[in-house]
Amino acid sequence: MTSGFEAAGYRVVQAIESCPHAAATYAQNHPDVDVVLGDIRKMDAALTAARVGLDRHELDILLAGPPCQGFSESNKRTRTLLNPANGLYQEFLRFLGVLNPSWFLFENVPGLLTLSEGSVLKAIQCAAKELGYESEWRVVNALNYGVPQNRRRVFLVGNRTGTPISFPEPTHGTTDTARAVTVGEAIRDLPVLENGASTDRRPFRKPLDTSNEYLARVRDLRGEDDLVSGNLVTHNSEKVVLRYKHVGQGQNWTQIPRHLMDNYHDLSRCHTGVYYRLRWDEPAKVLGNFRKNMLIHPEQDRGLSIREAARLQSFSDSYVFTGSIGFQQQQVADSVPPLLALTVALEIRRHDISFDGAMDGR
């Protein structure tokens, strides 16, 4: 979210994060932002904002992306209102009431609309209205804004200024727009890798194709010796690699012989993204938990590298992820695609009368 809003001209001044690994990655890539590490439920909103000299009414926009796992429709175990993480939206509302920004943006998975008949979303809108905010929501798909991934998310936008709230019109993937960006356009220039690859920086597989608009946006042309980072791949067992070999592009776990899936007690619970091999000529399926989804490279019998996944999320190659490979994978999977965030940020800025146009919106 920060990458997109900064690209739109906003100056992000503070971020709150409970995971130390995600906070470390964030701090490395956004050194000018005050990163507050800890549980937001234990923070005083006014004192936290005072760290960066923010007083009431001084904030242009408050961004919120609370944990989505408890709302996700793929979560069959803890998708209930009793999940403690599903109450964290109340912390967003607490900060909203104290800081009183001109605008807010709340992002989550579409399951927010269906859990308990959308009661959480309704509660957020009602509470925001009591604080003086009118709000609108929409389900947006990242592929419609140039991201090479079929990723649907709910964006709830509100303001207390009385100005219009609108959402950007699709630029890709419809009959009236440019076609969607494909997996091939996004990652085909990246190195050929082996199962369990552990060398972080490697040469590009192909030189930059200047006609590829997506690569022109994400490929880091300042890299030393034409190297790219993030070439780390989970080391899968021989049995898992054998499963990969049975799956063609656009196919999934259903192509794997049942005797190779004997550790799955209930195959009916496997959704279509499990052991799905990406197609070069289409956008990717949604990136989720690497260990559960196990997306397969289009032509190599392995999972995705960190950089390949980051490309499918529209991160620039200059964005570096830190920590062990598992933590890096989770950081990429949990992210809002920067290109989607940029598109939404520009639409908000178009109506944001508090934005002074001098690259100093906060």
Of 323, 298, 325, 320, which is closest to residue 310 (Cα–Cα)?
320
DSSP string, 40-79: GGG--HHHHHHTTT--TT--SEEEE----TTT-TT--SS-
**Beta carbons of 256 and 247 less than 8 angstroms apart:** yes
Residues 362, 341: Cα–Cα separation, whole Å:
15
> Which amino acid, one-letter code, is at 197?
A
Dihedral, 222, 223, 224, 227 alpha carbons, nearest 10:
-150
Residues 168, 154: Cα–Cα separation, whole Å:
13
Q: What angle do CA 154, 158, 162 make, to 5 degrees?
A: 145
Task: List the catalytic residue out of 19, 68, 126, 270.
Answer: 68
- Concerning whether 126 is annotated as a catalytic residue, the answer is no
Stretch (H or E) spanning 36: strand 34-37
Q: Would the CA dihedral through 22, 25, 27, 30 be positive or negative?
A: negative
**Beta carbons of 54 and 13 less than 8 angstroms apart:** yes
Q: Which residue has the tokens 């936008």?
A: 157
Q: Which residue has the tokens 């490279």?
A: 297
Do strands 134-141 and 152-159 pair parallel, antiparallel, or not at all (unpaired)? antiparallel
Dihedral, 73, 342, 189, 333 alpha carbons, nearest 10:
-30
Residues 29, 20: Cα–Cα separation, whole Å:
14
**Beta carbons of 83 and 118 less than 8 angstroms apart:** no
Stretch (H or E) spanning 138: strand 134-141
Q: Tell me which residues are annotated as active site.
A: 68
